[in-house]
Structure 1
Amino acid sequence: MTDAGVAGIDPVLGFALVGALGVGSQWLAWRLKLPGIVVMLLAGLAAGPGLGLLLPSEQFGALMQPMLAIAVAIILFEGGMTLNIQSLRDATVGVRRLVLIGAPLGWAVSALTLHWVAGLSWESSAVFGGILIVTGPTVIAPLLRQARLRKRPAALLQWEAIVNDPIGALAAVLAFELVSVLADASSVGGALADLAMGLVVATLLGVAGGWGLVQAFRRGQVPEYMKVPVLFVSVLAVFALADSVLHESGLLTVTIMGLWIANSGLASYTEMHRFKEQATILLVSGVFILLAANMTVETLATLDWRALAFVVAVILVARPLPVLVSMLGSNVPWRERVLVAFTGPRGVVLVAVAGLFGERLAALGIEDGSRIGTLAFALVAATVVLHGFTLTPMARALGLIASDTPGVLIVGGSRWATALGLALKKLEVPVLVADPNHAHLRHARDAGLETFFGDILSEAAEHRLDLVSYDKLLTATDNDAYNTLVATDLAPEFGREHVFQLKRGREASSRHALPATLGGQRFGPDETFFEANARLAEGWEFRVTRLSEEFTLEDWRAHNPGAVPVADLGPNGTFRLLGPGQPPKETAGTRLVALIPAREDRQEAARAADADKTGESTDSI
């Protein structure tokens, strides 16, 4: 595109294009079941150096760096808010080792790799090495859902990513503070004094900002509807104030501020964190598109053999070595150690933070700082593509696959829940029955189902349960209000289309009816808890039937009048819970779970004999 063409593009149109490319790429990645970062990378490179439709440095000019700085500040604040100290204290020995031993060792090994293999200066290597600790929680979660790992290796990878996200950013901030004061100070003593002052000022401002917000929220000085706007404005204000008092201390300040709020026990924390996560997704998408589009053909051409060697060294040395060393002497089996050691996908946060620090290092006169952003792009693209295609085969080869089918979490222990769980177990679908009443879980325990005694919304459940193994939720307690609360609270995590609940008992009364926006979808025969359990008492049972070309869905309906389909498992492994009136799949090989009326022994024997001729499977629960 010509200079005149670029100059003629409205900056407002440029902003709209960034948003459309970022969010559109994530949606397309969701539809295609691809890592979102790969699609965003391709979209940014195509719009920028490819077609010349988006050239951020020319279109946004002097606003480019402040925009990136503010976005990264909010991203780091979000990272700080994810790190609850109690979570780390309650984490397994393996997670603590990965964080307390693996993170510092990974910083050191990554810095050495950057200096000796990629050829970066010690200053750039120290800053970028800190960022490389981050393994990308936004990337690892979709990979874990796809791979269906067993509980412990999945927990190790997930918690490492969550905890190391702010730690890696904090390490980079500290390294950059040291580099910047050394560049400005006339002596090493003066540089160390400036660094100490910077750390003290940043810590005090971060703690003061977090404490002030917590006190204002607790004392009701901020109305509920204004808490999120006040939170964001406060982050920007503290960031700007810290930078004005001491240059480049703002990023450290907002990270500490997020840590303080995360560990304050605020009642409104969940709502603020959820909204902040959504805003962070928008910012991360925008930053990634801006950085990718801002690449030039000349910059991409600098990806030489040293860049390739750097990527290979990180994957084969800088990632595995700290993990394996930190796991020495632990009770983690060697297969799990190998899987964790060779699984380290990097994400958008790495690129966003690396791009900002690279520009700032270059501004300090460290010329190779401009290479950090390009190397970050290369590493992210390589690791996401590599692990996206190799994690599942490697886990299967090591025997660490929990199930090839996504599981179902049933909240509420009863005879009905146990019967349904056993039917789903025949499909080799993982099932977990949870209930805060220990006595309610007796039938599920006696039947050999996995159980969790406790409130599914508690912190203990969050820390102990591997929800990655389950992508469907069914709330089936005798308390309609609790069913609705659980379904509403966990819907953002599971996806509203995957959350079901039993029919509420007083739906017909306008005085007791709840808004349609609350709760989950209707399930199966659309019955209340008491109606469902009464049906079992009347002799109904869950049965699993395999459809075939000889025994079609129509044949099944003819043999089972009054039966209610509740779930199906397609021949390709796609599992669904069915709502009222939702037809099951008719494909040959589909396994159907249905609630079927009881029959006399004579009728059952006749149907079994007929099934032998047609190939029907009649496993009763």
Structure 2
Amino acid sequence: MAVETAAGAMDPVAAVALVGALGVGAQWIAWQLRLPAIVLMLAAGLLVGPVFGLFEPARDIGPFYLPMISIAVAIILFEGGLTLNFHTLRDAATGVKRLVFIGAPLGWLLSTLALRWGAGTSWESAVVFGGIMIVTGPTVIAPLLRTARLARRPAALLQWEAILNDPVGALAAVLALEVVIVLRTSEQLGSAFFSLAVGIAVATALGVVAGYLLSWAFRRAKVPEYMKVPVLFAMVLAVFAVADSILHESGLLAVTVMGVVIANANLAAYEEMRRFKEHATVLLVSGVFILLAASLDFSALAQLTWRSIFFVVVVLSVVRPVTVFLALAFTQLPMREKILVATTGPRGVVLVAVAGLFGERLVELGVRDGALVGPLAFILVAGSVVVHGFTLAPVARFLKVTASRTPGVILVGGSYWTTELAEHLKEAKIPVLITDQNRGHLRRPRELGIDTFFGDVLSEGAELRVDMNGYKIVVAATDNDAYNTLVATDLGPEFGRENVYQLAREKAANARNALPSSLGGRTFAQDATYNELNRLMWSGWTFAVTRLTEEYKLDEWRAQRPEARLLAFIDPAGEIHFVGGEDEVASGPGVRLVSMLPPEEAKKREGRS
């Protein structure tokens, strides 16, 4: 039987499909144009929603869209907790503790004052909304960090603060709302605070117990491999629902704690679970932003005055910087990193969702300007997303706290071939790192001033000591084909499979040794193997970096050097691209070709020079 829809309403299935297409499409376009994805998602939601009226979540999806947002936020926070391994805190631990234990209460106080004297709200609305404003938004921070490529410590500070303060902000708002309820009704103050304390304690305990229970079950093989992710999802939803039924918004705390416990349990299946959750989070973040932007009511924004804009300016330019500088005072953090964190405080999904709900509760309690909380939250999110989306990367580059201005190359395996390649890449201003488990293989690279890492690139030590954000390409080039395949397979999801290469395997052509396409990385250098490349080096082949011009183009270079092996090219912006398979090679002026030349070509080149 067909389901009737209201006049002008969209079919619910089509509505959900539209949300997915807009969210993922906005992220893809942002990646192509190198723009902040959050800004495009916000614009897409506004266009299909209040601007053109094509999509209205409450009408087209129905009453389930708000619970959908709540569940999505819970999953996003759980995935955020999964990324919070205590080992990553090494240098940022003090800063994170201060931002949570000092910054959160201080931010609550300053935000409340900004709302009262800046936006002109009542004290009741200011205290409740001020608590919610502690949240800095992991849904916004994650895409921004991916684009800005910050150095390890400031990135860890922003990530940990955003994820830990999300449930803290929600619970602060619950605390403030309980106080308002006591003042506006006959409820006793003691019982209100008792229920609040019980709710927080139960939520924390639920998160810890569920995390340890799942870790125990996964480690003891009580759950089959193919069911681990479904069981994980089911447990997240169950923990969130149980905690939320005891104290509203405490479910966010429970799932965050659960994620942190699992992240630090050293599970063998941790990486697979985390990557799946990351993929789900990309979909959820985009979907939630589209839904929230599309559900905006312009008539609600009409209630706002110029003081609302003044409030947003005060929050971004005064409240956030003062909060961070006071919280991080007398720490060993460099001033540049303090300035970056102080000027980065975007708000996201949790703030809008919780503010809208609590605003309605305030109106029910007789606080008239509670209706302003939702619109104020939206313009704060929109303003902070746009400002930080466009300024984070430039500010980070100005302060010199990015991982590296030019994306670099990690060469796995120290050999004659990788050392010579690294030397030429370094001369071309491309950051390069050679890793090897044999200290002797790194002796010559160190003599040449090339950055090295002694150890396994897949080890926890490499994760802690090597700033992976500074590198774009990985080349697995050891004399062990199986290890090269392992490195390429493991690092593929992190760097992007299109950016992970390995030397061709010696027995790859043999059907008994052929591997599925899901394993290993891309080959290059005309499918050369380790032994082949090093034989070429010992027989006199050399590396060359050749610049193309208007007069000297790629076709002419190929004609003059028919036997040369093209490895990569460096575009005019200074970014390197390795050439594998049928990849297109840029041929415009300013492009530099990185190649290997046979002895006779090298001699001709020396003669011309």
Q: Do the two structures share a fold, i.e. TM-score over 0.5? A: yes
Match of 1:453 in 2: 454
**CA displacement, residues 350-389 of structure 1 (integer Å, 9 cap, x when unaligned):** 5455555555665666554554443343233333333444
Are 1:295 and 2:296 matched, yes or no?
yes
- Give the letter aligned to residue 607 of structure 1: R
Aligned equivalents of 1:160, 1:36: Cα separation in 2:
21
Asked whether the equivalents of residues 137 and 158 of structure 1 are also in contact (C-alpha less than 8 Å), the reply is: no
Asked whether the equivalents of residues 561 and 601 of structure 2 are also in contact (C-alpha less than 8 Å), the reply is: no
Are 1:234 and 2:231 matched, yes or no?
no
Asked whether the equivalents of residues 543 and 594 of structure 1 are also in contact (C-alpha less than 8 Å), the reply is: yes
Change (3 A) 1:592 1:517: same
Give the C-alpha shift of residue 41 in structure 1. Answer: 0.9
Give the C-alpha shift of residue 480 in structure 1. Answer: 1.7
Change (3 A) 1:84 1:120: farther
**CA displacement, residues 452-479 of structure 1 (integer Å, 9 cap, x when unaligned):** 2222222332233222221222111222
Alignment of 1:135-534 (within 5 A): 135-136=136-137, 139-140=140-141, 143=144, 154-182=151-179, 183=181, 186-348=187-349, 350-352=351-353, 354-355=355-356, 358=359, 368-398=369-399, 404-534=405-535
Asked whether the equivalents of residues 35 and 139 of structure 1 are also in contact (C-alpha less than 8 Å), the reply is: no
Alignment root-mean-square deviation, CA: 2.9
Aligned equivalents of 2:428, 2:397: Cα separation in 1:
19
Give the C-alpha shift of residue 544 in structure 1. Answer: 1.1
Give the C-alpha shift of residue 303 in structure 1. Answer: 4.3
Q: Secondary structure at the match of 2:237?
A: helix
Aligned equivalents of 2:411, 2:172: Cα separation in 1:
47
Asked whether the equivalents of residues 145 and 469 of structure 1 are also in contact (C-alpha less than 8 Å), the reply is: no
Instruction: Choose 497-506 or 358-367, whichever is displaced more.
Output: 358-367
Match of 2:45 in 1: 44
Give the C-alpha shift of residue 8 in structure 1. Answer: 4.2
Aligned equivalents of 1:143, 1:247: Cα separation in 2:
29
Give the C-alpha shift of residue 584 in structure 1. Answer: 3.0
Change (3 A) 1:282 1:146: closer
Instruction: Choose 187-196 or 119-128, whichever is displaced more.
Output: 119-128
Q: Secondary structure at the match of 1:208?
A: helix
Change (3 A) 1:225 1:395: closer
Q: Secondary structure at the match of 1:522?
A: coil
Asked whether the equivalents of residues 404 and 573 of structure 1 are also in contact (C-alpha less than 8 Å), the reply is: no
Percent identity, aligned pairs only, is 56
Change (3 A) 1:265 1:131: farther
Asked whether the equivalents of residues 37 and 348 of structure 1 are also in contact (C-alpha less than 8 Å), the reply is: no
- Give the letter aligned to residue 443 of structure 2: R
Instruction: Choose 508-517 or 383-392, whichever is displaced more.
Output: 383-392
Change (3 A) 1:549 1:239: closer
Give the C-alpha shift of residue 510 in structure 1. Answer: 2.4
Give the C-alpha shift of residue 503 in structure 1. Answer: 0.9
**CA displacement, residues 39-81 of structure 1 (integer Å, 9 cap, x when unaligned):** 1111111111112121112233332332222222222222222
- Give the letter aligned to residue 220 of structure 1: A
- Give the letter aligned to residue 334 of structure 1: M
Asked whether the equivalents of residues 72 and 353 of structure 1 are also in contact (C-alpha less than 8 Å), the reply is: no
Match of 1:612 in 2: none
Aligned equivalents of 2:566, 2:159: Cα separation in 1:
39
Change (3 A) 1:377 1:448: farther
Aligned equivalents of 2:198, 2:93: Cα separation in 1:
36
Instruction: Choose 581-590 or 96-105, whichever is displaced more.
Output: 96-105
Give the C-alpha shift of residue 146 in structure 1. Answer: 5.2
- Give the letter aligned to residue 51 of structure 2: G
**CA displacement, residues 514-542 of structure 1 (integer Å, 9 cap, x when unaligned):** 21111111122321222222211111111
Asked whether the equivalents of residues 88 and 96 of structure 1 are also in contact (C-alpha less than 8 Å), the reply is: no
**CA displacement, residues 267-304 of structure 1 (integer Å, 9 cap, x when unaligned):** 21211111112112222222211111111121232443
Aligned equivalents of 2:583, 2:265: Cα separation in 1:
46
Q: Secondary structure at the match of 2:119?
A: coil
**CA displacement, residues 82-137 of structure 1 (integer Å, 9 cap, x when unaligned):** 22233324546555555554454334433433333233455554554455445455
Change (3 A) 1:105 1:455: farther
Aligned equivalents of 1:510, 1:297: Cα separation in 2:
64
Aligned equivalents of 1:427, 1:363: Cα separation in 2:
66
Change (3 A) 1:364 1:33: farther
Instruction: Choose 115-124 or 485-494, whichever is displaced more.
Output: 115-124
Aligned equivalents of 1:458, 1:291: Cα separation in 2:
41
- Give the letter aligned to residue 434 of structure 2: V
Aligned equivalents of 1:294, 1:321: Cα separation in 2:
33
Match of 1:616 in 2: none
**CA displacement, residues 293-318 of structure 1 (integer Å, 9 cap, x when unaligned):** 11112123244322211221122112
Change (3 A) 1:191 1:565: same
Alignment of 1:89-100 (within 5 A): 89=90, 91=92, 97-98=98-99
TM-score where L is the length of structure 2 = 0.90
Q: Secondary structure at the match of 1:62?
A: coil
- Give the letter aligned to residue 438 of structure 1: R
Match of 1:617 in 2: none
Aligned equivalents of 2:561, 2:482: Cα separation in 1:
34
Q: Secondary structure at the match of 2:545?
A: strand
Aligned equivalents of 1:217, 1:124: Cα separation in 2:
45
Change (3 A) 1:366 1:172: farther
- Give the letter aligned to residue 174 of structure 1: L
Aligned equivalents of 2:357, 2:552: Cα separation in 1:
62
Q: Secondary structure at the match of 1:319?
A: helix
**CA displacement, residues 405-453 of structure 1 (integer Å, 9 cap, x when unaligned):** 3211222222211111121122211112222332222222111111222
Aligned equivalents of 2:103, 2:530: Cα separation in 1:
48
Give the C-alpha shift of residue 231 in structure 1. Answer: 0.9
Change (3 A) 1:277 1:394: closer
Change (3 A) 1:205 1:386: closer
Give the C-alpha shift of residue 502 in structure 1. Answer: 1.1
Change (3 A) 1:278 1:14: same
Change (3 A) 1:370 1:481: farther
